[in-house]
């Protein structure tokens, strides 16, 4: 046990502990797992606690024990701690943004942007928790005071992916804590250092012991026992649909509240009247930033056939000119994929599509001379909507152009996938834009801007297989992290005295 997350140094590299019951501590087994940079696999980022069900049990017991005290704390006191955490994290933005970029592989600019967003989330909920959250109703009985309260749920299990390793944990953990819940946090195995930074800022801000507990380790060893523990009354998960849907069955069967945010296959529709310069910039940003590893990334450009050839040529020129390399360099626009497995899988999908006869308009393959898990930004033209490229989330820097005859076909193609997270339309026609907003099956809709990008104070989530009908962020988060109590308050009968 130490006062900080680094328990010891091993050959000059930090060994990072879990945070359980207010203490930084090694895993029960003493095991650790090494994490390496995806842009330079020779660089060891750190050694991190490799936990199992014993650590989960200790963390859940700590969170359970802390719940009565934390939920009984005034909202103002909780807000003060969140605000202090925002200041601590804000003071570390350059360091944390750099660690994010080293650990996850997105560019330094994106790493700093994401850390800044986590700060904004802390600030937002420090304010939000001071807003009124109950309602006063008229009653049939004039002497009855009829109102609702919102109360916390208890211990929440938070399971997060690697692709937004500080913003997604923040947008789940911070509202959970703000509304009076306690938390056991299982981050993605590939990005534990960002989880440590967020936890450390909250711990240093004065969270009482046990209110937030960080348990690092694999999905099977840590995620499974967390989801199965009866003391965990709510589970919020972001990740792949395969893992999320399995997890939901286990948690729902034992009566827990469950929230899933899953994958996407997000379309950008470009109509013939669109400003093509603007559309090219936005579609390329949506498809390629973070190497296409955003749940809201654009993976399909559904284009009016009359401008498809011109748009494809311009997209290809822009994508082909993107600079791929070390994400810490200012000149780099596209970093690596998260892991060797991910790079092999995406490169394999590109090869399969090429061998199947799909026309490559830019990229393909891997860049020469780079040591990390890089894949060239890639564009396919004339893609069929019912192909793998047209239907499956590849989660890499790959964009498929699907030509269509008109807006009806464009919307039908856009809606033809099992996901419905975000969607864009590029047009100057207001009527078409309104029609698109009404008919598109997506939880986040953009007109004349890229599919990626979400502001922290508005609801976030998808339609169909992208979500579980709940929403995160902003005021929407209170729906998940609180339950409603309806109060009928009558005066005692008059004694007649």
Nearest approach, Cβ of 426 to ligand NAP (angstroms)? 23
227 binds ligand NAP (CB under 6 A): yes
Shortest distance in whole angstroms from residue 217 CB to ligand NAP: 7
Pair type for strands 155-159 and 182-186: parallel
Is the distance from CB of 263 to CB of 241 less than 8 angstroms?
A: yes
With beta carbons less than 8 A apart as the criterion, state whether 158 and 60 touch.
no
Per CB under 6 A, the list member of 262, 399, 417, 452 interacting with ligand NAP is: 262
β-pair partners for 159:
186, 237
Q: Does 171 bind ligand NAP (CB under 6 A)?
A: no
Catalytic residue among 156, 295, 393, 450: 295
Q: How far apart are CA 351 and CA 346, in angstroms?
A: 9
261 is catalytic: yes
Under rule CB under 6 A, which residues in 183-202 are in contact with ligand NAP?
A: 186, 188-190
Residue 298 as a binder of ligand NAP (CB under 6 A): the answer is no
Angle 112-424-381 from CA coordinates, rounded to 5° = 100
What is the rounded CA–CA span in Å between residue 250 and residue 158? 15
The tokens for 323 are 């600079």
DSSP string, 41-78: TTSEEEEEE---HHHHHHHHHHHHHHHHHHHTS-HHHH
Neighbour count for residue 260 (Cβ, 10 Å): 25
Pick the binder of ligand NAP from 295, 346, 379, 444 (CB under 6 A).
Answer: 295
HSE on the CB side for 305, CA within 13 Å? 7
Q: Does 144 bind ligand NAP (CB under 6 A)?
A: no
β-bridge partners, 426: 270
Selected from 46, 264, 267, 363, the binder of ligand NAP by CB under 6 A is 264
Q: How far is the CB of 5 from ligand NAP (least distance, A)?
A: 18
Q: Kindly tell me which of 432 and 471 has the beta carbon lying closer to ligand NAP.
A: 471
Using CB under 6 A, which of 220, 255, 369, 491 touches ligand NAP? Answer: 220
The answer to whether residue 480 forms part of the interface with ligand NAP (CB under 6 A) is no
- If the CB atoms of residues 319 and 442 are measured against ligand NAP, the closer one turns out to be 442
Least distance in angstroms from the C-beta of 443 to ligand NAP: 9
Binding string, residues 13-52; x marks residues near ligand NAP by CB under 6 A = ----------------------------------------
* CA–CA gap between residue 228 and residue 250 (Å, rounded): 6
Q: Indicate which single residue of 52, 110, 261, 450 sits in contact with ligand NAP (rule: CB under 6 A).
A: 261
* First vs last C-alpha separation in the chain: 65
- For 275, other C-beta atoms within 10 Å of its C-beta total 14
Catalytic residue chosen out of the listed positions 261, 349, 393, 450: 261
> Does 219 participate in binding ligand NAP (rule CB under 6 A)?
yes
Best CA proximity match to 447, nearest among 461, 428, 467, 465: 428
Binding site for ligand NAP (CB under 6 A): 159-164, 186, 188-190, 218-220, 223-224, 227, 238-240, 243, 247, 261-264, 295, 393, 395, 421, 462, 466
Catalytically active residues are 261, 295
């Amino acid at each position: 046990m130490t006062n900080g997350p680094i328990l010891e140094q091993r050959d000059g590299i930090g060994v990072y502990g879990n945070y359980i019951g207010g203490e930084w501590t090694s895993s029960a087994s003493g095991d650790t797992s090494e994490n390496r940079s995806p842009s330079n696999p020779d660089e060891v980022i750190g050694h991190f606690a490799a936990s199992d069900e014993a650590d989960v049990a200790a963390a859940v017991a700590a969170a359970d024990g802390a719940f009565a005290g934390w939920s009984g704390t005034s909202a103002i006191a909780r807000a003060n701690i969140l605000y202090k955490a925002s200041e601590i994290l804000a003071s570390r933005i350059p360091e944390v943004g750099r660690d994010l970029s080293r650990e996850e592989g997105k560019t330094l600019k994106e790493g700093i942007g994401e850390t800044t967003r986590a700060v904004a989330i802390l600030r937002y909920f420090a304010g939000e928790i001071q807003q009124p959250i109950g309602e006063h109703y008229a009653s049939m009985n004039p002497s009855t005071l009829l109102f609702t309260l919102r109360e916390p749920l208890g211990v929440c299990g938070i399971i997060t992916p690697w692709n937004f390793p500080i913003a997604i944990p923040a947008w789940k953990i911070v509202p959970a804590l703000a509304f009076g819940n306690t938390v056991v946090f299982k981050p993605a195995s590939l990005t534990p250092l960002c989880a440590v930074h967020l936890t450390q800022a909250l711990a240093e801000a004065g969270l009482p012991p046990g209110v937030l507990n960080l348990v690092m380790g694999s999905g099977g060893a840590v995620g499974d026992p967390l989801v199965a523990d009866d003391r965990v009354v709510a589970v919020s998960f972001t990740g792949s649909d395969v893992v999320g849907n399995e997890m939901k069955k286990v948690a729902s069967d034992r009566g827990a509240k469950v929230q899933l945010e899953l994958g996407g296959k997000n379309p950008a529709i470009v109509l013939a009247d669109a400003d093509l310069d603007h559309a090219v910039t936005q579609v390329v940003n949506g498809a390629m930033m973070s190497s296409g590893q955003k749940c809201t990334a654009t993976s399909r450009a559904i284009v009016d056939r009359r401008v498809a050839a011109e748009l494809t040529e311009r997209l290809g020129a822009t994508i082909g000119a993107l600079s791929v390399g070390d994400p810490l360099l200012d000149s780099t626009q596209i970093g690596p994929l998260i892991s060797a497995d991910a790079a092999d899988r995406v490169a394999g999908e590109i090869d399969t599509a090429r061998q199947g006869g799909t026309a490559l308009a830019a990229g393909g393959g891997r860049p020469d001379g780079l040591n990390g898990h890089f894949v060239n930004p890639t564009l396919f033209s004339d893609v069929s909507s019912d192909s793998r490229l047209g239907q499956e989330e590849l989660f890499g820097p790959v964009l498929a152009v699907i030509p269509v005859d008109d807006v009806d076909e464009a919307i039908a193609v856009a809606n033809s996938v099992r996901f419905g997270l975000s969607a864009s339309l590029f047009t100057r026609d207001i009527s078409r834009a309104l029609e698109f907003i009404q008919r598109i099956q997506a939880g986040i809709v953009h007109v004349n801007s890229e599919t990626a990008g979400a502001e922290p104070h508005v609801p976030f989530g998808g339609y169909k297989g992208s979500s579980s009908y709940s929403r995160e962020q902003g005021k929407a988060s209170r729906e998940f992290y609180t339950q409603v109590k309806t109060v009928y308050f009558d005066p005692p009968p008059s004694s007649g005295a």
